Structure 1
Amino acid sequence: MRALTILLLVVLGLSACGDYENRGGLKAYLGDFGDVLVVIDRDLWEGDFGDSIKILFTDYVPAIMPAQGQFDLEFSTPENFKGSAKRFRNVLHIDIGDKLNNQKPTITTSKSEYALDQIVVYAKAKTKEDMLNLLSNRYKDIINRVNDEEMERKQKLLSFRQDSSVLETIERKKGYTMIVPSSYKVLIDSGNVLWVNKVSSVRQDDLEKYTVRDIVISTYEYESEEMLALENILIKKNEVLRAITFDDSNNTFIRHQEKHDPTVRIISGGNDYKMEIRSLWTKEGAFQGGPSIQYIQLDYDNRRIIHADARVYAPGNYKREMIRELEAIIKSITPINTKE
C-alpha cells in the first residue's frame, strides 16, 4: 500500500486526464485507472480493521496471471482529505462513530461531487463490527460500481481516436455501433463475424514485451432462452473460434479453457438481457493462453444474440488494464434496430 501525497496525486492526475475545468467549475479527477483513495482514521487503517479492508478491496481480478488486485489503494485521514486529495477519481469514505446514533449501516454513492466524473462511496456504521459486516456483504457491489465507472471513463478516452470508415462499415454491415480505436485492425469481416486485433509492445521490468488483444464479435438468431445459458454460450464461443482460428497445418485452434471455472455476472435481464463472463482461453495443440472477457447481449428487437469475445495474449505482463480496455470496447456495442 502506498501513502498518499499531494505530489503523487498531481503527477498521476495530470498524466491521466489533464487539469481542465468543465462548465460547472469542477476540475478533472486525479489518479490512475484502478486507484481508490480510502478515507479513514489512521488507527483503523493501520490496525487489523484496515488489514481486513485491504483484503476485501484488493481481491484478485478473475482469470488473470500474474495476479493483480481489483484496486490499488491509497490512504488519507479525514483531516487530510482536502485540496487535491478531494479530486481523487475513486474515493471510499469510511465513517465509524457514536455520532451516527441509531442509524443503520449504510452505503451511498455520489457522482462528480468534488471532481468531474469522480465517484465517492460513503460507508457509515456505528461500530467497527457493524462496518466490517456491511463491507463484507457489499464489497462486491462497490467493486462493480467503481469498475463500471472506470469502464465508462475508458470508453471516453478510447472514443477520441477512431477510424470513421471502419465505424461506418460496421454499422452498415453488422447492424450495430461500437468503439473501435484506430490502433485496432480488422482481421476478418465475413457474414456475421467481425474480428479486430491490436498488436503492441509494453516495457516491463526493463524488457520490451509484445501483447496481442483480439475481439471476435458474432451474431446469431435468438430462438429460445436456453441459448443464453452459460453452457450454450461457451459451446457457441468454441464453434466460432474454431472456425476462424483453425490451422490445418498443425491442427491448432483457440477455445475456452475448460479447467478454469468462469466468473459470471448478469448485468440485466428480460428483453434487455446482458451477461459478462470472465474466463481463460487456450490454444489447442500449442502452449498459449490467457484471460478472456465475453459480453453477451440479447438484441430482442432484431431477434438475435450479439456475442463479443475478447482475449489477451501477453505472457508475463500485467493484464488488468488490458482487459479493462477490451471490456470498454465490447460493452460499447449498441444494436441498431434493422427490423423497422
Structure 2
Amino acid sequence: MKKRISLCFLAILGLSIACKEDGKADYLPESVGAMNTLTVVIDNDLWNSNVGDAIRENYTAAAQGLTWDEALFSVTQIPQQIFTGSIRNTSSVLYVMEDTLNVAHMKSNMYAKPQKVGVIKGRNKEEIIANIKKTAPEFIADFKALEIAKAQKRFQKSLNKEKALEDKFNISMKIPSIYRVGREEDNFVWIDRQIQKGNMNIIAYTMPWDSFQKDSTFSQDIIRMRDSIGNLYIKGNDVAGKNNHMITEKAFTPYVFPAEVSSKKAAEVRGIWEMSAYPMAGPFLTYIISDKENNRKLILEGFVFAPATKKRDYMFELEAIMKSVRFNVNEQNK
C-alpha cells in the first residue's frame, strides 16, 4: 500500500514539474527590441578580432533588393558582464564566447517571449568563426521569422477591415488600418499608406495557372508580367510624348528564390522598380504563389517610394503583411 502511494506521489510530482516546464514561457516578460535589431553578446577582445569580422560579414551584410546598401540587422555589441537585467529581454540575441565546448545552437524564450538566442561557442577563434559561418543562414532565418511574427502580432491591434481582397481573390491579410484601398479593378487591387517622404504599396492580382512554364525564361517572364501590370495600372507623372509607367529596372536583374507562403509553394522576387520615362525608383518584393486549388497564380507585391530614405524596415513591414495571407476555403473545396 505504501509503495502504491509512493508511486502515485512520484507520478503527480513528475506531472507537476512537467506542467511547470511547459508553462515556463507564461511567466516570462515580453521581449523588447526595435525591428531588425540584433544584440551580440561577446567580449570586446573577440568583437575586435577576426571573430567580430565574421559576425559583421554575415549579420550586417547588405540586404538584397534595396536601392542602396542597408544591413540585414542593426547590431549592438555588449560584453557578457553587461548582459543582465532588462537587457536580456531583447528579442534577438547572438551569444558568442570562447569555451571548453565546440557547439552552436538556437534557443527559444530563455529570458523573455518571444525570443531567439543563438549560442555559438568554440575552443578557439577558428572554431568560433567556423560555427558563425555554418549557422548564419539558419540563425538569420530564425531571427527574421521571429521579427515577422512580432510584426504580424502588432498589426492585429488595429486591422484594415476593407473587403477588396476577399471580394476579388477570396483571400485575407493582416493589413494595418493605416493602409487604404486606393484602386480596384476586375483583377487588380492596390492598397497603400502615406509615409513621411512617400508611400508604401501592396498590389494583388492573378495569373493563369500555366504561367511561368519554363525555368529558363522565368526571370524574363516575371519582368514582362510586372512591366505589363505597371503599364495597365501604375502610371507616373505625365511626360510629353511618352507613356510613363512602372517597370522593372533595366540595369538590375531581380533576385529570385524559392519560398513558401501560407503553406503553398511560391517564388520570392526582390528587385528595383523605376518609371519608364521619369527618374523615380525604389525596391519591390513580389510573391508568386501557386494556388492550385483555384487553378491560378496569386501575385502579391509590395513596393516603396521614399526618396533619400532608408527603406529596409518599410520593405520588412510589407513582407510581414504579405506573408500573413490566408486563402479562404470555397464551399466546393471543403
**Normalization by structure 1: what TM-score?**
0.82
| Worse-matched range after superposition: 34-43 or 122-131 | 122-131
CA distance in 2, matches of 1:154, 1:219: 26
**What residue is the counterpart of 2:188 in the other structure?**
193
What is the deviation of 1:118?
A: 1.2
Cα distance, 1:259–1:225 mapped onto 2, change above 3 Å: closer
Instruction: Give the secondary-structure state (helix, strand or coil) at the position aligned to 2:32.
Output: coil
Q: Given the alignment of the two structures, is residue 163 of structure 1 paired with residue 160 of structure 2, yes or no? A: yes
**What residue is the counterpart of 1:109 in the other structure?**
106
Cα distance, 1:249–1:51 mapped onto 2, change above 3 Å: closer
What is the deviation of 1:95?
A: 3.3
What is the deviation of 1:169?
A: 4.0
**What residue is the counterpart of 2:206 in the other structure?**
219
Q: Which runs of 5+ in 2 are unaligned?
A: 1-23
What is the deviation of 1:326?
A: 0.9
Instruction: Give the secondary-structure state (helix, strand or coil) at the position aligned to 2:27.
Output: coil
**What are the equivalent positions in structure 2 for 1:20-169 lying under 5 Å apart?**
24-97=26-99, 99-100=100-101, 105-106=103-104, 108-164=105-161, 166=162, 168-169=163-164
What is the deviation of 1:236?
A: 1.6
Question: Percent of pairs identical after alignment?
Answer: 23
Aligned length: 303
CA distance in 2, matches of 1:212, 1:290: 11
**What residue is the counterpart of 2:169 in the other structure?**
174
Residue 231 of structure 1 aligns to which amino acid in structure 2?
Q
Residue 48 of structure 1 aligns to which amino acid in structure 2?
N
Cα distance, 1:48–1:222 mapped onto 2, change above 3 Å: same
What is the deviation of 1:32?
A: 0.9
- 1:186–1:194 contact (8 Å) kept in structure 2: yes
CA distance in 1, matches of 2:269, 2:207: 18
CA distance in 1, matches of 2:39, 2:30: 16
- 2:187–2:206 contact (8 Å) kept in structure 1: yes
Cα distance, 1:110–1:137 mapped onto 2, change above 3 Å: closer
CA distance in 2, matches of 1:183, 1:248: 25
Cα distance, 1:248–1:95 mapped onto 2, change above 3 Å: closer
CA distance in 1, matches of 2:236, 2:71: 36
Q: Given the alignment of the two structures, is residue 310 of structure 1 paired with residue 295 of structure 2, yes or no? A: no
**What residue is the counterpart of 2:21 in the other structure?**
none
**Normalization by structure 2: what TM-score?**
0.83
Larger Rg belongs to: 2
- 1:279–1:291 contact (8 Å) kept in structure 2: yes
- 1:226–1:232 contact (8 Å) kept in structure 2: no
- 1:27–1:116 contact (8 Å) kept in structure 2: yes
**What residue is the counterpart of 2:221 in the other structure?**
232
| Worse-matched range after superposition: 125-134 or 192-201 | 125-134
* 1:105-163 superposed Cα distances (whole Å, 9 cap, x missing partner): 43x22222211111111223333112212322432332222122212211111222123
- 1:93–1:120 contact (8 Å) kept in structure 2: yes
**What residue is the counterpart of 2:178 in the other structure?**
183
**What residue is the counterpart of 1:301 in the other structure?**
293
Q: Which runs of 5+ in 1 are unaligned?
A: 1-21, 202-209
Return structure 1 stretches of 4+ with deviation > 6 angstroms. none
Q: Given the alignment of the two structures, is residue 274 of structure 1 paired with residue 263 of structure 2, yes or no? A: no
